[in-house]
């Protein structure tokens, strides 16, 4: 079967890589124009990309050391949330792993940490949180549950290099030809005069949605829950004596938040804001006052947070920014692309178009992956419901108008008990209790008092203390010999 991918970048070349390596019997072509730029000024990932790069699930031909070197990548262990609280100078860490008991009905290590320990050290209840606290880098270990920070412009090119059997055409799509009977896409007419025929098409054309628009896609907006709609990406050099933590900084601002991502040679940054409350010029001025230096934005990006109502229509599957874009917080874009592709390649891709594109299979795919995006939306909304009300933007958030039903339910639960992993979506790729726990605690919805009360009610106070002390001692021995993240990055330079 001929599979045609429209658009390069990380999403397009990931699609080509996974299909060509896992199902090599298919003929894969990528149509990517060098005239069209890639969105990104430093980007982060989740552990799902690490599984790809380390060939943890499938041998795709990647080499982690090459990926890190060629993509100016650094190791990511979590997110540092700054100002996401009534106290705008406060911060909390969200490690990308959970405590050793996060999979149990009662997460005793986490509850002990929140209930009895210093609140600004809650994150050391996880392995990666312990490394974050001591600013240690974990890449020296053979296999890690780390993620990455990287130059977004270079990641797609790395995967392109690994796609050694994939055809590449440098051109733009001028016209999408469909058969008159069923509306299947049959061929693409390109700006260079070529015509490319195909059986299955992957739309990785970003916000342009070149193929999805042709087959009648509709956009499901998240703006009622996630009102940010603009971004000013920019770059910052490292200071000579700067301490570089293995985390993404997510710094809440007056009208949104600012990301700061440490790549090898600089920080990739951006201010994500709601243009309904502040103009781009005022947003830039506001940010410059906050960070104490002038910035030179790469460009203004505007977006409508949301997803395709149907991610897969006829013989066209959308991935990457074409499929959905909630917002940059929590690095969900590449994460969801990988899980979408995994479902497609292993669960849907047949020997030909008819076997692949049957109606029942498409409907099931759309239901499951639409649910994935919608549950991640809930997780993002939970970050904003932090009690801030110092500007009109935050007053609007604090009014409760943007809160989803699931977030509201979790907040009610936290008033009387500690949630556990059984209460959260369990579909592959969804954010579960390990990630939610630090957001609920960091935003003040889950308190030390509730943790203590539940531990005593379950007679777990003593055993939780033993488990916590053992956890800390274990990782103290594993972590102290590791290099600091700052030294590791300096040495790589």
Q: Is residue 278 part of a domain?
A: no
pLDDT higher at 258 or 140: 258
Domain count across the chain: 2
- The Cα–Cα gap between 348 and 341 comes to 10
Residue 55 domain-assigned (yes or no): yes
Q: What is the pLDDT of residue 281?
A: 98
Q: Confidence class of residue 145 from pLDDT cuts 50, 70 and 90?
A: confident
- In terms of C-beta density within 10 A (0-12 exposed, 13-18 middle, 19 or more buried), how is residue 198 classed? buried
Claim to verify: residue 165 and residue 27 sit in the same structural domain: yes
pLDDT digits (tens, 9 = 90+) for 311-337: 999 999 999 999 999 999 999 999 999
Same domain, 101 and 213: no
Q: Tell me: pLDDT of 99 over 80.
A: yes
Q: Is the pLDDT of residue 140 over 80?
A: no
The reply to whether 274 falls in a domain is no
For CA atoms 20, 21, 23, 24, the dihedral sign is positive
**Domain containing residue 162: CATH number:** 3.50.50.60
> How far, in Å, are 117, 165, 424 from residue 106 at the CA level?
18, 49, 14
Which is more confidently placed, 185 or 41?
A: 185
Q: Are residues 345 and 407 in the same domain?
A: no
Q: Is residue 273 part of a domain?
A: no
Residue 37 has pLDDT above 80, yes or no: no
Q: Which residue has better confidence, 475 or 270? A: 270
Instruction: Indicate if 138 and 171 belong to the same structural domain.
Output: no
Taking the CA atoms of residue 486, residue 491, residue 492 and residue 493 in that order, the dihedral angle to the nearest 10 degrees is 90
Mean pLDDT score, 130-158? 85
Q: Tens digit of pLDDT for each residue in 208-261?
A: 999 999 999 999 999 999 999 999 999 999 988 888 999 999 999 999 999 999
Tokens of 365: 């795919």
Instruction: Check whether residue 327 and residue 441 sit in a common domain.
Output: no
Q: Mean of the pLDDT values across residues 52-63? A: 91
For 199, residues 6+ apart whose C-beta sits below 8 A from its C-beta are: 1, 2, 3, 315, 352, 353, 356
Q: Of 325, 358, 391, which marks where a domain is finished?
A: 358
- 392 and 464 in a single domain? The answer is yes
Domain of 210 in residue numbering reads as 2-74+148-218+308-358
């Amino acid at each position: 079967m001929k599979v045609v991918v429209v658009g390069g970048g990380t999403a397009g070349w990931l699609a080509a890589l996974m299909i060509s390596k896992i199902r090599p019997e298919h003929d894969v072509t990528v149509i990517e124009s060098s005239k069209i730029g890639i969105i990104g000024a430093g980007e982060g990932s989740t552990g799902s990309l690490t599984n790809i790069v380390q060939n943890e699930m499938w041998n795709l031909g990647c080499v982690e050391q090459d990926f890190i070197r060629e993509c100016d990548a650094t190791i990511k262990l979590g997110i540092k949330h700054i100002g996401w609280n009534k106290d705008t100078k406060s911060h909390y860490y969200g490690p990308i792993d959970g405590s050793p008991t996060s999979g149990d009905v009662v997460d005793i290590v986490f509850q002990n940490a929140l209930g009895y320990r210093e609140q600004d050290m809650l994150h050391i209840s996880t392995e990666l949180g312990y490394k974050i606290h001591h600013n240690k880098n974990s890449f020296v270990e053979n296999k890690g549950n780390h993620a990455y920070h990287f130059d977004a412009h270079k990641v797609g090119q790395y995967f392109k290099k690994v796609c050694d059997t994939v055809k590449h055409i440098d051109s733009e799509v001028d016209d999408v030809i469909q058969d008159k009977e069923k509306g299947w896409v049959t061929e693409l007419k390109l700006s260079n005069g070529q015509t490319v025929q195909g059986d299955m098409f992957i739309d990785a054309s970003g916000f342009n949605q070149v193929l999805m628009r042709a087959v009648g896609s509709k956009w499901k907006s998240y703006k009622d829950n996630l009102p940010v709609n603009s971004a000013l990406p920019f770059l910052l050099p490292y200071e000579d004596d700067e301490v570089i933590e293995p985390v993404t900084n997510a710094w809440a601002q007056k009208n949104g938040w600012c990301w700061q991502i440490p790549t090898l040679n600089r920080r990739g940054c951006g201010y994500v804001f709601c243009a309904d409350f502040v103009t781009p010029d005022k947003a830039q001025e506001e940010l410059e006052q906050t960070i104490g230096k002038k910035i030179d934005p790469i460009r203004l990006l505007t977006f409508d947070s949301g997803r395709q109502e149907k991610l897969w229509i006829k013989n066209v599957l959308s991935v990457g920014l074409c499929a959905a874009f909630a917002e940059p917080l929590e690095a969900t874009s590449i994460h969801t692309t990988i899980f979408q592709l995994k479902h497609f390649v292993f669960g849907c891709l047949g020997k030909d178009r008819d076997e692949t594109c049957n109606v029942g299979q498409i409907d099931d795919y759309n239901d499951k992956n639409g649910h994935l995006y919608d549950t991640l939306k809930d997780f993002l909304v939970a970050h904003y419901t932090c009690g801030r009300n110092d500007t009109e933007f935050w007053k609007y958030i604090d009014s409760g108008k943007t809160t989803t039903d699931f977030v509201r339910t979790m907040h009610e639960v936290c008033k009387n008990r500690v949630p556990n992993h059984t209460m959260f979506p369990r579909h592959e790729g969804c954010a579960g209790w390990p990630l939610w726990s630090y957001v609920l605690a960091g935003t003040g919805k889950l308190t030390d008092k509730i943790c203590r009360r539940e531990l005593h009610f379950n007679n777990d106070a003593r055993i939780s203390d033993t488990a916590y002390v053992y956890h800390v001692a274990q990782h103290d021995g594993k972590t102290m010999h590791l290099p600091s993240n700052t030294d590791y990055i300096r040495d790589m330079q």
